[in-house]
Amino acid sequence: MDQLEQLKKITTVVADTGDIDAIRTFQPVDATTNPSLLLKASQDAKYAPLLEKARQYAAQQGGSDSDQLANMSDYLAVLIGREILDIIPGRISTEVDARLSFDTRATIEKAKRLIDLYQQQGVDASRVLIKIASTWEGIEAARELEKTGIQCNLTLLFGFSQAQACADAGVFLISPFVGRILDWHKARQPEADFGGDNDPGVQSVSRIYRYYKTHGYNTIVMGASFRNIGEIQSLAGCDRLTIAPALLQELANLQTPLERRLSPEATGATDPKSSLAETDFRWSLNSDAMATEKLAEGIRNFTKDQITLEKLLAS
């Protein structure tokens, strides 16, 4: 059994891509998308019919140019999501516009809009996760959405305080980023050994996982943003891992045994259970330079790709 198949025995494998062909190849349970992945997919000729459907839909809805671009973008995300759901047995994660990351009410309205579009396509809300940046405003939006039955995937999560707040808000799933944490540390300590268990991204996800299991939180931990398969191997057994096609292929090419590293029974968290008020959350996040910088950078980059996608749709 190759390592990908071994991993699927102990972790729910999620495809981190909007490429339908790759999803067919690797047969994950779930799939995640974001503005960067949608932009890449939209530049592929095989998605041209979906772009045209999105254009026609936006034209029918009318409104200003900005309204039509927003409708095109939302509708395209849903069309690609529906295509993916025809292949996978589980859920698709569809992201809220990163420009809404500091607006709780607008995030809630956009999430409801995306769910409505999915339902118009015959997709039940139970098969969709709404991806939201792990800002205080985003977490509060998720808190309200979860109460209405709209389940959320809190993304761009780099700091422990973000994970604490998400669990306290009762969100369905978090996506702590591994590779981007590693990037930050390598840029500052290029000579350091960050292999295996020394990887700060692996350490961050392991800490969050143990905290959740020790204190009985139901929020799912889904490691994301991997730079190499060593990070994946070090997190084998995590609830879920969302993995890009190139790394899925690397795992599929390995026939050696895969050791389980995380287990719900192996808890042992040293962090006491605590709930963060807004001021505590903001101070804790501000005190973590890596988390603060990577969260801000992630929002900027997703916004940049969203704007590029809109320019592509406008043309």
Report the pLDDT value the prediction gives residue 242, as an integer from 0 to 100: 96
- Asked whether 166 and 142 are in contact (CB, 8 A), the reply is yes
Please give the residue range of the domain that contains residue 208: 3-314
Q: Check residue 39 and give its pLDDT.
A: 87
Which pTM value belongs to this model?
0.94
Axis crossing angle, helix 278-287 with helix 136-147, rounded to the nearest 10: 140
**Structure confidence at residue 18 (pLDDT):** 83
pLDDT of amino acid 97: 95
Q: How many structural domains compose the chain?
A: 1
For the chain, 315 residues long, give each residue's pLDDT as a single digit of tens: 999 999 999 999 999 988 889 999 999 999 988 888 888 888 888 888 998 999 999 999 999 988 988 999 999 999 999 999 999 999 999 999 999 999 999 999 999 999 999 999 999 999 999 999 999 999 999 999 999 999 999 999 999 999 999 999 999 999 999 999 999 999 999 999 999 899 999 999 999 999 999 999 999 999 999 999 999 999 999 999 999 999 999 999 999 999 999 999 877 888 999 999 999 999 999 999 999 999 999 999 999 999 998 888 888
Rg of the chain in Å (alpha carbons) = 19
- The residues pairing with 174 across neighbouring beta strands, listed in sequence order, are 154, 221
Paired tokens of 248: 């899925």
pLDDT of residue 131: 97
Res 303: pLDDT? 95
Give the span between the Cα atoms of 129 and 172, in whole angstroms.
8
Look up the CATH number of the domain holding residue 260: 3.20.20.70
Task: Choose among 135, 145, 262: nearest CA to 208.
Answer: 262
Q: Which residues contact 306 (CB under 8 A, 6 or more apart)?
A: 35, 39, 73, 97, 98, 99
For residues 20 and 86, what is the distance between their CA atoms, to the nearest angstrom?
10
Asked if 58 and 71 count as a contact pair (C-beta separation under 8 A), the reply is yes
pLDDT of residue 254: 98
Q: How many angstroms separate the CA atoms of 210 and 193, rounded?
A: 24
Take residue 23 and report the two structure tokens written for it.
Answer: 């999803």
Rounded alpha-carbon distances, angstroms, from residue 200 to 50, 107, 232, 285, 304: 40, 31, 13, 17, 27
- In which residue are the tokens 């590293």 written? 261
Contact 271, 159 (CB under 8 A): no
Q: What is the set of active-site residues?
A: 131
